Chain A
Amino acid sequence: MSTAAPSAQPASSQAASGKGLAAYCRGVTKHYGSGSNQVLALRGIDLEIPAGKLTMLVGPSGCGKTTLISVIAGILDRDAGECSVFGRDFSAMGQRERTRYRGENIGFVFQQFNLLPTLNAAENVAVPLMILGEGRAAAVAKGKEYLAQVGLGDRWKSLPSQLSGGQQQRVAIARALVHSPRLIVCDEPTSALDHETGGRVMALLKDVALKNDRALVIVTHDARIFSYADQIAKMDDGRVDQVITGSGITAEARGH
């Protein structure tokens, strides 16, 4: 089976309807530990992540959501199965190439923000550009631009400790976008925030992240943000049970 290019999409509902596929998984498995401590975190994942859309991964704690986006984002090796991001398979790359590919194509938003505490907001946003080799001054200038886009243009000098949780997450979103990655993965981006702030962060993510046909994958427990999704993949015990789209999402959001 070919995994060479986005055009080699398996015929599926989403792919057929949309502009293209950002990533897909076929029969992906992953275990942790060994012997009696072994945990099968992913038991054969089939999932398609369309470009230009917001995909949510939901499911009970321990069902494998974080493990799955780690595999998709190329920061964790799978055991078996197929997985491709924009037609490339992380497992087929060497360590250096994989790191580079990740730096160029993937943006991260974390539950705990993970901003460097001694860098100011603009410098934090500039880090991915500096990793890719851009000069410091140019990177920080671009960092300020992106901060303005998330509504923090006047706070670029602030250290993370001087910002509220919602503001820190906005800085983190600017950081995830600054180098124009094509896939953005977020693990529980709103769970450290109150409901209202979480809603604003989601609106922002959806607004800025989906521009230019980017794909957005968000892991969440938070039913109150389901309504922002274009597709919801419901996971349980290492499998994707159900993919909900369209009017199903409204029902799902209301159901909780």
Chain B
Amino acid sequence: MIGVAIKMIVGDKLKYFGLIAGIAFASLLVIQQASILVGLTHQTGAFIRDTNQFDLWVMDPQIRFSQDTIPLTDGTLPRVRGIEGVEWAVPMYQGFLRARLPDGTRQTVILVGLDDATLIGGPPEMARGQFESLREDKALIIDEDSRLQKFRFKQAGTGALDVGDTFDINDTEMKVTGTFKSSKSFFWEPTVYTTYSRAIRVAPRERKMMNYVLVKLKPGADRVAVASAIEAATGAKARTSDEFIKITADYILKETGILVNFAMAVGLGFIVGALVSGQMLYNFTVDNLRFYGTLKAMGASNLRLVGMVLTQSLLVGLIGFGIGLGAGTVLGEVVGKAGLAFLMPWWIPAFGGAAILGTCILAGAISLVRVIRLEPAIVFKGA
């Protein structure tokens, strides 16, 4: 009878394709919007992720996200270095500065200054040139994607900034000695790296210049204990990269309204899809009540009919969701290539699928009330 149930719904081409299209569309909306939200969230942590080799960021307690650029008080660095369990600690500068390309094109950049001796805190992978080239005179590395997109000459220029080119940051000449591979970032301004001492020289003079102290723990040291010791000694805040990524994401999502907007898109997609598909599934069963009555009269038990209706719900739910998931993945692939945010961790299809299939089964179950209550005697009533 499962075969009969499948033929009942598959044979009704118009309703069948309508149902599948509705469910597929709802699934696509839910999956796609959720994946973009996750992708955007992930992108907010790009700067933090593009660093390596250390365990804690020490920062001003008021910092809300990774581009907040609030400097630390003098003396933080030596105090951190004096704390038990700290293997080493190095400074990092971060500031928004104006750059001017050779053709006069203006571009705001985030200049990051890395500890001169160790170059700790830099991006993990170079696209062209050597990371150590930062030690050369005027050296600066820029990221390869920004080079091609944001560091383009706009005025009578040709092409993009290249390795070997020079340009000004805050009226100081810098030379591109290499490019690095960056994670796609939520933030617009390109991040460029130089050494700490050079960054301090380039940047406008302020009383306090050091934004972060990057800390490596001694092997076996208790991270939490060291972090609170640092906080007690300096009045600063010590965070792991994961913690820093999280507060950045939370702040950006809330502050920009992205979270609310996407949550609404996901919710609306789901509700509209659920209402339309649920209604169609319900109607499908009700339209077939006469035939369920006939089957009942001919000896089909309620349990059998429950199995039939739920089979139909699951069938269209699975096919519809499958198509929606496939379309969502393809779409994600396309927009991902175009550089847009799209990240689909396993739990998006898992929860999305559970929600969509759950809705289909619920609609089937509601319509089943009519089937179970059905008096088989209706079969003798006129059409």
Interface residues of A (CB under 8 A from B): 66, 69-70, 73, 75-76, 95-96, 99-100, 102-104, 108, 110-112, 114, 116-119, 123, 127-128, 130-132, 136, 187
Distance from B301 Cβ to chain A, minimum over Cβ atoms (Å):
5
Distance from A253 Cβ to chain B, minimum over Cβ atoms (Å):
25
| Complex alpha-carbon distance, A69 and B376, angstroms | 12
| Complex alpha-carbon distance, A75 and B374, angstroms | 11
Q: Contacts A75-B375, A76-B377; is A131 near B299 (CB within 8 Å)?
A: yes
Interface hub of A70, A117, A132 (most chain B Cβ within 10 A) = A70
Q: Contacts A119-B11, A131-B1; is A114 near B379 (CB within 8 Å)?
A: yes
Q: Contacts A99-B296, A99-B301; is A116 near B4 (CB within 8 Å)?
A: yes
Distance from A181 Cβ to chain B, minimum over Cβ atoms (Å):
10
Interface hub of A112, A118, A131, A132 (most chain B Cβ within 10 A) = A118
Residues B7 and A103 in contact, CB atoms below 8 Å apart? no
**The 8 residue pairs across chains A and B that have the minimum distance between CB atoms:** A103-B299, A118-B11, A75-B376, A76-B377, A114-B294, A112-B383, A70-B377, A187-B380
Using CB atoms, name the residue of chain B closest to A130: B1
Distance from A77 Cβ to chain B, minimum over Cβ atoms (Å):
9
Q: List 14 A-B contacts (CB under 8 A).
A: A69-B380, A75-B375, A76-B375, A99-B301, A104-B299, A108-B297, A112-B382, A114-B379, A116-B294, A118-B10, A118-B12, A130-B1, A131-B300, A132-B299
B7 proximity list for chain A (CB < 8 A): 116, 118-119, 123
Cβ-defined partner of B298 (8 Å) among A69, A96, A127: A127
The answer to whether B64 has its CB under 8 Å from any CB of chain A is no
Using CB atoms, name the residue of chain A closest to B10: A118
Distance from B14 Cβ to chain A, minimum over Cβ atoms (Å):
12
| Complex alpha-carbon distance, A96 and B303, angstroms | 10
Interface hub of A95, A114, A119 (most chain B Cβ within 10 A) = A114
The answer to whether B8 has its CB under 8 Å from any CB of chain A is yes
| Complex alpha-carbon distance, A66 and B382, angstroms | 11
Residues B379 and A108 in contact, CB atoms below 8 Å apart? yes
Residues B295 and A127 in contact, CB atoms below 8 Å apart? yes
Residues A66 and B380 in contact, CB atoms below 8 Å apart? yes
Residues B11 and A99 in contact, CB atoms below 8 Å apart? no
Residues A75 and B304 in contact, CB atoms below 8 Å apart? no
Contacts A99-B300, A187-B380 known; list 7 others, CB within 8 Å: A69-B380, A75-B297, A75-B375, A76-B377, A100-B299, A108-B379, A119-B4
A73 proximity list for chain B (CB < 8 A): 297
| Complex alpha-carbon distance, A112 and B383, angstroms | 6
| Complex alpha-carbon distance, A149 and B111, angstroms | 90
| Complex alpha-carbon distance, A66 and B377, angstroms | 9
Cβ-defined partner of B380 (8 Å) among A70, A117, A119, A132: A70
| Complex alpha-carbon distance, A42 and B302, angstroms | 28
Using CB atoms, name the residue of chain A closest to B300: A131
Residues B377 and A108 in contact, CB atoms below 8 Å apart? no
The answer to whether B187 has its CB under 8 Å from any CB of chain A is no
B375 proximity list for chain A (CB < 8 A): 75-76
Residues B299 and A99 in contact, CB atoms below 8 Å apart? yes
The answer to whether B75 has its CB under 8 Å from any CB of chain A is no
Using CB atoms, name the residue of chain B closest to A126: B4
Distance from B215 Cβ to chain A, minimum over Cβ atoms (Å):
70
| Complex alpha-carbon distance, A95 and B374, angstroms | 13
Distance from A172 Cβ to chain B, minimum over Cβ atoms (Å):
10
| Complex alpha-carbon distance, A118 and B15, angstroms | 12
Using CB atoms, name the residue of chain B closest to A185: B380
B380 proximity list for chain A (CB < 8 A): 66, 69-70, 75, 110-111, 187
The answer to whether B17 has its CB under 8 Å from any CB of chain A is no
Q: Contacts A118-B10, A128-B298, A128-B299; is A111 near B382 (CB within 8 Å)?
A: yes
Residues B301 and A96 in contact, CB atoms below 8 Å apart? yes
| Complex alpha-carbon distance, A103 and B300, angstroms | 7
Residues A108 and B382 in contact, CB atoms below 8 Å apart? no
The answer to whether B128 has its CB under 8 Å from any CB of chain A is no
Distance from B283 Cβ to chain A, minimum over Cβ atoms (Å):
16
The answer to whether B219 has its CB under 8 Å from any CB of chain A is no
| Complex alpha-carbon distance, A95 and B296, angstroms | 11
Distance from B214 Cβ to chain A, minimum over Cβ atoms (Å):
68
